[in-house]
A and B are shown apart, each in its own frame.
Chain A
Amino acid sequence: MRPLKATRAPVIHRSKPLEGPDADFASGERHETEPKLRLGGVKLFGRKSQRFDPAPSRLSYRLQRWMLTPGIRRGLKYGLPILAICAATGLYFSAEDRRVAVVAYVNDIKTSIQQRPEFMVNLMAIDGAGPNLSEDIREVVPLDFPISSWDLDAEQIRDTITGLDPVKSATVRIRPGGILQVDVVERQPVVVWRTRSGTELLDETGAHVERVASRKDHATLPLIAGKGADEHVAEALQLLTTARSLGARVRGLVRIGERRWDLVLDRGQRIMLPTDRPVRALERVLAVNEVQDLLERDVAVVDMRLGQRPTIRMTEAASEDWWSTKTDVSSRQ
């Protein structure tokens, strides 16, 4: 009798079944585990994937190799989407009205955020300035409150305020509570400068503070005069400090020839000071005055322009007097 089933296929005992690439390898089938960014060359050309001849065609082989090239894969993974997005945006924005619409939309949102009450500035507070100056500042900074703090340029406002003559320095900031805080340091006038065109006040650096109508309004301030005097206010102040001992006799300082100072006293007396080291020369005069009461006498001018040769000009009366005395004496002899 012939046995019905005589094949002796060996039973292969495996602890666990093959899986993954091993199983594909053993069975010789193509595996479709995860098609990562791959063009199935075979399918692309409309041929059946299970053919008698497993060999790929030359074209599909090349195509597959090409798709496996790292550069190409990266290009397809990143470059292509980026390109597509760029092209889509470009196409969308190529029309004028769309562009305008988008810009308008963005501006709308921007304004609505800027106009929120948290960002609004309602008033300007000015500290450290007199009423006149405050008015001036309000004039040069024309803001119509309420205004959004996004539209305020504190830097520019500060520059404008600093550009005013009486203002020495200023800080501008936006205080919580919607207040534009301006802190001003005013220039303090120290001298009155009289020129042909009028009378003005200068601070210690010679900067213009204010034009005044009359010297009498500022009687406490010393007076200087002459062209170019404003550039040497510091020197003038030094001289005036030195001449303090003369007290109320000092009328003022005159800048002569934009070069040197004359100290003018009452009774028309004048002390002509040299160009360099005028303080020193004045001290000499004051020393002589201390000892000999020089300035109490009938002296019109004390000329200190030449340091080696201080000269005195007497008043006309005094010199006549002196002459008559002299002739009297000689005639008596």
Chain B
Amino acid sequence: MMTDLYQSQRAMRQMRRQAMQRGVVAILDVGSSKISCLVLRFDGTGRLSEDNSIGSLAGQTGFRVIGAATTRSRGVQFGEVTAMQETERAIRTALQAAQKMADIRVDHVIACFSGANPRSYGLDAQVDLEGQVVSEAEVGRVLNACDVPDYGAGREVLHAQPVNFALDNRSGLIDPRGQMGQTLAVDMHMLTVDAVAIQNIVRCIKRCDLELAGIANSAYVSGISALVEDEQELGAACIDMGGGTTSVSIFMKKHMIYADCVRMGGDHVTSDISMGLGVPANVAERIKTFNGGVHATGADDRDLIDIGGDTGDWEHDRRTVSRAELIGIMRPRVEEILEEVRIRLDAAGFDHLPSQQIVLTGGGSQIMGLDGLATRILGQRVRLGRPLRVHGLPQSATGPGFSSVVGLSLFAAHPQDEWWDFEIPVDTYAARPFKRAVRWFRDNW
């Protein structure tokens, strides 16, 4: 199963290379509340400015967004596909609109999703080098030597990124290749998700006549776009408050070291409003968007909101609710979500990081007064994050709700090295059973 995964991930990387050659790739964010799609055109790597300074886009200019579309998501709950047909239709809608805007046919798609119970594992391994110099094969060997924990049947590895290399006593190496030393150690972050969720998404995309050129977790990609460079370097948590899930990712030294997701999001707030006020979900959504908040003030008691209705009953259709009541409904749920996030961050040991920056992004982070509430629950250093600005992105897709799709396009342009980007040493395949037998003999006699 391990090599299976390895092969399929390598196949996806191959597909991505093909897409790069063709120059056009679609970026698809399958979320619980909306499905957004960007069409990117790659036209060479971007150059730095004349005075050798890093420009405002930090070299992320290799691509340009030529098509963008977003549509209401259907058939996706908690970031997982629950109704295949519906999801497929929603994906088709978004893709068709984006293709139409781009005026070009797209064959390769890179997708991300948030749910499916992501779980992080920290792996490490150490090997003695065969030569003096660390080569690509040595890196592959040390990555392969990692002792993979038993993450359970029905789970798949989604990301497996080496986050730190150590050569003899020197740690914190980003790229050990070409350096001299005796022993090479690696720390790897591995993220597993439910296999079924991946398979469903792959299936949906296949049914749209597209090739999957990569798949990522949306906690990871929204971290890429919402965190600025020094936050990624010094350590920060990105909290992407989506519709069905709130995903958490922790970055350190420009690598994701932890990701998790809380299975609650903006849709739950909407459904609370809908239940509390007795209004349909779309009305509740509108009320939340226009009038929502988490901090009640004295003025909010006098601020009455028409919640309306379409029954024909005059009294029923003229119902109003004060904004304070609305806040009273929303706040406990938002608090609950943030408490849950707090628990995840504590479990990850976030308070031991040198920098405790927290960045809130995602569509849910647009609730008025959320930063104040988050400061009280998560810690002092909270800010609201918006995605990085990329070339050609429509202005309406620059809101925080699009941080994962923008991050995914950055990821598509410059993917981080993963475990499967390095070759497995050939001898481990054939020699492993024999070696195991020898070891068993040596251990027992």
* Smallest beta-carbon distance B203→chain A, Å: 15
Instruction: Evaluate contact between A6 and B394: CB separation under 8 angstroms.
Output: no
Find residues 1-32 in chain A having any chain B CB closer than 8 Å to their own CB. 2-3, 6-10, 18, 21-22, 25-26, 28, 30
CB-CB contacts of B242-265 with A at 8 A, as 1s and 0s?
000000000000000000000000
B336 interfacial contact with A, CB 8 Å: no
Find residues 275-324 in chain B having any chain A CB closer than 8 Å to their own CB. 290-291, 303-306, 320, 323
Instruction: Evaluate contact between B105 and A68: CB separation under 8 angstroms.
Output: yes
Partner of B320, one of A2, A21, A53, A55: A2
Contacts of A58 in B (CB 8 A): 92
Give the A-B contact count at a CB cut-off of 8 A.
69
Instruction: Evaluate contact between B105 and A55: CB separation under 8 angstroms.
Output: no
> With contacts A6-B304, A22-B394, A64-B99 known, is A54 near B209, CB below 8 A?
no
Partner of A21, one of B92, B95, B104, B394: B394
Please report the C-alpha to C-alpha distance between residue A22 and residue B394 in the assembled complex, in whole angstroms: 5
* A20, closest chain B residue (CB): B394
B54 interfacial contact with A, CB 8 Å: no
Instruction: Evaluate contact between B103 and A8: CB separation under 8 angstroms.
Output: no
Q: Count residues on chain A whose CB falls below 8 Å from chain B CBs.
A: 28
**Which one of B1-9, B63-71, B116-124, B415-423 contacts A?**
B63-71
Find residues 375-423 in chain B having any chain A CB closer than 8 Å to their own CB. 394-397
B183 interfacial contact with A, CB 8 Å: no
Contacts of A138 in B (CB 8 A): none
B93 interfacial contact with A, CB 8 Å: yes
Instruction: Evaluate contact between B90 and A55: CB separation under 8 angstroms.
Output: yes
Main secondary structure of the interface of A (DSSP, over half): loop
* Smallest beta-carbon distance B74→chain A, Å: 8
Instruction: Evaluate contact between B92 and A55: CB separation under 8 angstroms.
Output: yes
CB-CB contacts of A84-116 with B at 8 A, as 1s and 0s?
000000000000000000000000000000000
Instruction: Evaluate contact between B99 and A2: CB separation under 8 angstroms.
Output: no
Partner of A18, one of B90, B101, B304, B395: B395
Instruction: Evaluate contact between A56 and B93: CB separation under 8 angstroms.
Output: yes
Find residues 42-97 in chain A having any chain B CB closer than 8 Å to their own CB. 53-56, 58, 61-62, 64-65, 68-70
Contacts of B68 in A (CB 8 A): 21, 25
> With contacts A55-B93, A65-B99 known, is A8 near B104, CB below 8 A?
no
* B100, closest chain A residue (CB): A64
27 A-B residue pairings within 8 Å (CB atoms): A7-B290, A7-B305, A8-B290, A9-B290, A18-B395, A21-B68, A21-B394, A22-B395, A25-B394, A25-B397, A28-B71, A38-B100, A53-B89, A55-B90, A55-B93, A56-B92, A56-B96, A58-B92, A61-B95, A61-B96, A61-B208, A64-B100, A65-B99, A65-B105, A65-B209, A68-B100, A70-B104
- Interface residues of chain B, those whose CB is within 8 Å of chain A, are 68-71, 89-90, 92-93, 95-97, 99-101, 103-105, 208-209, 290-291, 303-306, 320, 323, 394-397
Ordered nearest first, which 6 A-B pairs have the shortest CB separation? A55-B89, A68-B105, A6-B304, A26-B396, A55-B93, A25-B396
